[in-house]
Structure 1
Amino acid sequence: MSEFFSQIHFENRDFFVLRDDLIGAEFNGNKARKLEFFLHADLSAFNCILSHGSSQSNAMSALSSFAKLKNLEFLYHPTHISSFLAQNPCGNFAFALKNGMKIISQKSEFNSLKNSPSTLFIPEGVACKEAEQGFKSQARLIDNLSAELGCDFDIFLPSGTGASAAFLARNSRFSVFTTPCVGSPQYLAKQIFALVPDSKVRILPPAIKAYFGELKLEFLRIWQRLKEQTSITFELLYDPQGWLTLLANLSVFSKPVLYIHQGGLGGLASQLARYERKFGLENLAIK
C-alpha cells in the first residue's frame, strides 16, 4: 500500500485513511490539493495574493507559504482577530506572520485590492474553480488504491466551504460523504451547489452542534483517542467533528470507509493551548 494511505483499527472498526497530511512540509492536506493548479500556473502578472477568512485558518497558513514560495506578497483580511491572539501570535497566525503576511483590516482597502489587475484574489478556503485540479489527482490516487486492494470505498471528509468534497465527488466513481464544520448542512449545501450545481455529495448532520473553532471536550477526547489507538495525529478544527459524525452514521456506509486526513497540523499547538486555557492541563492527556 502507498505511503499516503494507512489502514487503521479505531473504536473496534476498520478504516482506511488517505494521508494528505504527508503531502509536504510547507503546505499539505486539502489546501495542498486546492493549490495544485496555482503551483504550476504562470503568476508573473501578479505582485500579490489576497485572501480572507479566519485568523487561525489552515488556508491562510498554506497561502502564506505558497506566496513566499512564489515570491509574492501575501495580504489577508481576517474575519476577526482576538485581543489575545493579537498580543500573543501563535499557531497558523504566527506562522503566516513569520512568512510575511500583511494584515488588511479595512474592508475598503480589501475591496480596492481585490479589484486590482495585479492582485491574485483567492477566496476563503481556496474555494474556487481552479482548486478542482488537485482533486482530480486525489481521485486518481484513490482509484489506484482501489485497484491494488480489489475493493471499492465510501469516502468521508469533513467540510468547511465544501470545495474539497464537491470537486472530489465530481471526479471520483465512489460515493462521497461529508459534514459541515462551518454553519449548517443547508449552508454547506448552498456552497457546494454554487461550485458544482449537480453535485451528488451526501451531507450528514454534524454529531455535535458547535460553531467553527468552538472548544468542546468531545472534540479533544476523540482527538486523543485517535492518537492513542492509531498513532496518527489529526488536527483539531475539522477532524474531530468529522470522526464523531462518521462514527455516529456507520449504518449509512455500505463499503469500506476511506477517511481523508485534513492536514493542517500547523495550527495544532495553538488549539491545544486554547483547550488548556479553557479546560485545564489535566484534560490534556497528550500535549
Structure 2
Amino acid sequence: MSIEPIYFRGRRFWVLRDDLIGGEFNGNKARKLAFLLNSNLNHINRIISYGSSQSNAMYSISLLAKMRGVKFIYFTNHICDFLLNNPCGNYAYALKNGMDIKISANPSKSAQDECKSSTDLFIPEGVAMREAELGFKEQAKIIMDFAKKNGIKFDIFLPSGTGCSAAFLAKNLNDMSVWSVPCVGDAKYLKEQISTLDPFNKVKILNPPKKYHFGKLYLEIYEIYKELLDSNIEFELLYDGVGWLTLMNNLDKFQNEILYIHQGGILGNITLLDRYKRKFN
C-alpha cells in the first residue's frame, strides 16, 4: 500500500491506498481481520455475524470462512427485491463463498443466540471488536513513518460505520488528529460506538452536510463519485461519498495536510452503480 497525493477541486489531498493491500483482503477489512488471519482457528466450526446485505465485512468474513473451511452464517434484516433477483457485488460473492444468509427482525440478537458452543466464533457487525486493533497498529506506523520521512503533519480523515477503524487508528497515532463522519447512524451513535472500543479516544466527529439514510441513493453522492474518478482513484459509494461531501464542507476546520484513508470496499460499487445508473442516467 502507499500514500499518494491527488488534486481535487484545486486542492492537494493525500490518500492512504489501503484499497491496494495485496492478496484477497484489502481495505479496512484486511486491517480488522488481521488478528484472525494470523490466528489458529482449527477449533472453530462456524463463524456467525450480522449486518447489511451489501456489507463489505460480510464479504470479507465469507472469504475468511471459505479459506479456513468453516461454515459462515450471516443475519440481516432485509434483502431488497432487486438484489434477490439480481445477485451482485458483495452479496453475490459472499453467497458464492458459501455464506448461509438468514433474515431476522433483530439480526444482532439472532446472531448471538445462534452461537451455542465454543466451536462457534461470533464477529460483531463491521468486525467492531477490540481484537481488531492489531491491523491498525501497522496502519498507524505506515502513516507516522511517511510523515516523518517527508516532514509532513497530517490531519487524518475517514468515514465510519461502527467507528472501529477511526478508534484504533487514533489510539495508535502520535501527535496527529483523526476526524470522521457517521455514515450509518448519527454522531451520537458513532461516538458511543467508538467509546465502547476506546473510552479515552480523541476522534473528532463531523456531521454530514445533511442526513443521509444508509443505502439510499443521492444525486450528489453519485456526482462526487464521478468527479473523484478524474483523480484516477475509484472510491466506494456508501461511505466515501458521504465522506468526501463532508470533508469538502468542512475544510476550514483542518489546520494541516489532509490524509484521506481509502478503506477499500469498491466491490460493493457493482450493486450501487447499477442502481444509480438506472435512477439518474
TM superposition score normalised by structure 2:
0.95
Partner of 2:79: helix, strand, or coil? coil
1:138-187 CA deviation, whole Å, 9 max, x = no partner?
Answer: 00000111122111110000000001001100001110000000111011
Alpha-carbon offset, residue 84 of structure 1: 2.1
Provide the residue aligned with 1:157 in structure 2. 158
Alignment of 1:75-154 (within 5 A): 75-105=73-103, 110-154=111-155
Does the CA-based 8 Å contact 1:55-1:81 persist in structure 2?
Answer: yes
Provide the residue aligned with 1:53 in structure 2. 51
Partner of 2:103: helix, strand, or coil? coil
Partner of 2:5: helix, strand, or coil? strand
Alpha-carbon offset, residue 198 of structure 1: 1.0
Task: Establish whether residue 268 from structure 1 lines up as the match of residue 266 from structure 2.
Answer: no
Task: Establish whether residue 175 from structure 1 lines up as the match of residue 177 from structure 2.
Answer: yes
Partner of 1:104: helix, strand, or coil? strand
Distance 2:191 2:202 in 1: 10
Letter in structure 2 aligned against 1:271: L
What 5-or-longer segments of structure 1 have no aligned partner? Answer: 282-287
Alpha-carbon offset, residue 116 of structure 1: 2.4
Task: Establish whether residue 207 from structure 1 lines up as the match of residue 209 from structure 2.
Answer: yes
Does the CA-based 8 Å contact 2:170-2:203 persist in structure 1?
Answer: yes
Provide the residue aligned with 1:5 in structure 2. 3
Does the CA-based 8 Å contact 2:112-2:122 persist in structure 1?
Answer: no
Provide the residue aligned with 1:259 in structure 2. 260
Distance 1:98 1:45 in 2: 24
Distance 1:57 1:31 in 2: 11
Distance 1:181 1:25 in 2: 27
Distance 1:79 1:116 in 2: 24
Aligned length: 277
Provide the residue aligned with 2:242 in structure 1. 241
Task: Establish whether residue 62 from structure 1 lines up as the match of residue 60 from structure 2.
Answer: yes
Provide the residue aligned with 2:218 in structure 1. 216
Distance 1:34 1:119 in 2: 19
Letter in structure 1 aligned against 2:191: A
Select between 106-115 and 218-227 the one with higher mean Cα deviation: 106-115
Alpha-carbon offset, residue 204 of structure 1: 0.4
* Identity within the alignment, %: 53
Partner of 2:49: helix, strand, or coil? strand
What 5-or-longer segments of structure 2 have no aligned partner? Answer: none
Alpha-carbon offset, residue 91 of structure 1: 0.9
Distance 1:101 1:7 in 2: 38
Two-structure CA RMSD over aligned residues (Å):
1.4
Partner of 2:156: helix, strand, or coil? strand
Does the CA-based 8 Å contact 1:58-1:264 persist in structure 2?
Answer: yes
1:93-138 CA deviation, whole Å, 9 max, x = no partner?
Answer: 0010011111133568644422421111100000000111111010
Alpha-carbon offset, residue 25 of structure 1: 4.6
Alpha-carbon offset, residue 86 of structure 1: 1.4
Select between 41-50 and 160-169 the one with higher mean Cα deviation: 41-50
Distance 1:151 1:278 in 2: 42
Distance 2:167 2:29 in 1: 14
TM superposition score normalised by structure 1:
0.93
